[in-house]
């Protein structure tokens, strides 16, 4: 029972709105393009989706998704980690918003970004094994601190895979 509890409580699922930009792709520097993205962590995959598009602001997109996220979280907890949980595509609202891009955190790193990486506050720098570097940011302290903790745990958990 203890093992099951530990298994369920692993930080492998989390979602929310974050500001994100790539700074390097496959080892090559790319131009920053900060966008507000619906972000989902599942296992070692981190997915980013644009807002709902068509002029929909991230605020309304977020509000639409709250019940979905709550429902999903409840479902996931009660169903032993996704056994009966909806597939990934549904978490992004089916056809409403598709993952813009995904990064694999296995073998990657997470740290607070240094000042020279961005003038924004609360910026996390993610590096993947394949040489993609991302900055993720939220104006809300508690939000970004929670993501930092979860991402560090995720990277540590999947470091040797
Ligand atoms: O690291 P940089 O190049 O100073 O980043 C800023 C620029 O990408 C800027 O875009 P333009 O160079 O196209 O004007 C962005 O608007 C800024 O947000 C970037 O800086 P921060 O410090 O916000 O990451």
Q: What is the pLDDT of residue 134?
A: 97
> Who contacts 150 (Cβ-Cβ below 8 Å, separation ≥6)?
11, 14, 41
The atom number, within ligand 1, closest to the CA of 33 reads 8
For a ligand 1 pocket test, name from 21, 24, 32, 112 the mutation site with the most ligand atoms within 8 angstroms of its C-beta: 32
Query: What is the 32 CA–ligand 1 centroid distance (Å)?
Result: 6
Give CA–CA dist 147/84, Å, rounded: 25
**Ligand 1 center to residue 5 CA distance, Å?**
44
Residue nearest atom 21 of ligand 1, based on CA coordinates: 118
Q: What are the residues whose beta carbons fall under 8 Å from the beta carbon of 71, sequence distance 6 or more?
A: none
> What are φ and ψ of residue 131, in 5° steps?
90, 25
Instruction: Give tens-digit pLDDT for 48-91.
Output: 997 644 334 445 445 545 555 555 555 445 443 443 444 454 45
pLDDT at 105 over 80: yes
Of ligand 1's listed atoms, the one at least distance from the Cα of 32 is 8
Residue nearest atom 18 in ligand 1 by C-alpha distance = 34
Interval between CA 153 and ligand 1 midpoint (Å): 29
The ipTM estimated for the assembled molecules is 0.90
The answer to which of 97-101, 108-112, 119-123 has the lowest mean pLDDT is 97-101
List the single range of 77-86, 90-99, 126-135, 137-146 with lowest mean pLDDT: 77-86
């Amino acid at each position: 029972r203890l093992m099951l509890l530990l298994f369920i409580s692993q930080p492998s699922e989390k979602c929310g709105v974050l500001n994100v930009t790539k700074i390097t792709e496959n080892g090559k520097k790319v131009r920053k393009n900060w966008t507000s993205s619906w972000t989902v962590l599942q296992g070692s995959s981190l997915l980013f989706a644009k807002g709902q598009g068509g002029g929909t602001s991230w605020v309304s997109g977020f509000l639409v998704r709250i019940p979905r996220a709550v429902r999903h979280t409840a479902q996931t907890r009660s169903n032993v980690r996704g056994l009966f949980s909806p597939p990934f595509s549904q978490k992004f609202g089916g056809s409403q918003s598709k993952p813009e891009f995904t990064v694999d955190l296995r073998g990657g790193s997470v740290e607070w970004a240094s000042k020279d990486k961005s003038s924004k506050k609360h910026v996390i720098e993610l590096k993947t094994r394949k040489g993609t570097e991302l900055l993720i940011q939220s104006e809300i302290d508690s939000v970004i601190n929670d993501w930092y903790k979860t991402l560090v745990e995720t990277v540590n958990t999947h470091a040797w895979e």
